[in-house]
Amino acid sequence: MRDPFPVRADGTRFDEPLKNYLGAMGRAGQSWDYYDLDWKAQFQQRWRLAVQRQITTDMVVETGYTSSHSKTNINRQLNTLPQQYWATGTVRDPARETLMNANVTNRRR
């Protein structure tokens, strides 16, 4: 191909980016999540305790303990399937499959 962006019938070559034209619909089709309103700051603590001993003029032995503790905020998915519909076990459950594949009526208010 000589020209990877050929001229279209309307005289343009490229699609214009949408930028913010979609507004609130920009997230349409994506999963929604949220952070807990009782938000607490994240933190991490690290510590190390060690003891060294010189055995000879050119030999040192060290033993130590290193540890850390973290607290982070975790976002929760709102699009999860309720536990009552989970397929548990190692065999197929035809009753549960029938329930999940059944049509429902669309009620208007």
pLDDT for 79-109, tens place per residue? 677 777 777 778 888 888 888 888 888 776 6
> pLDDT tens across 19-33, in order?
677 776 666 666 666
Give me the mean pLDDT over the 44-70 stretch.
94
74 is a domain residue: yes
Q: Which domain holds residue 93?
A: 33-99
Look over the chain and give the mean of its residue pLDDT values, rounded to a whole number: 79
21 is a domain residue: no
2 is a domain residue: no
Helix (H) / strand (E) element for 51: namely: strand 43-56
Size of the chain, expressed as the number of residues it contains: 109
Q: How far is CA 60 from the centre of its chain?
A: 46
What is the structure's pLDDT at 36?
A: 62
Give me the mean pLDDT over the 29-44 stretch.
69
12 is a domain residue: no
What is the structure's pLDDT at 31?
A: 62
Task: Say if residues 78 and 32 touch (Cβ distance below 8 Å).
Answer: yes
Looking up tokens 């999963």, which residue turns up?
31
Which pTM was predicted? 0.31
Query: How many domains are contained in the chain?
Result: 1
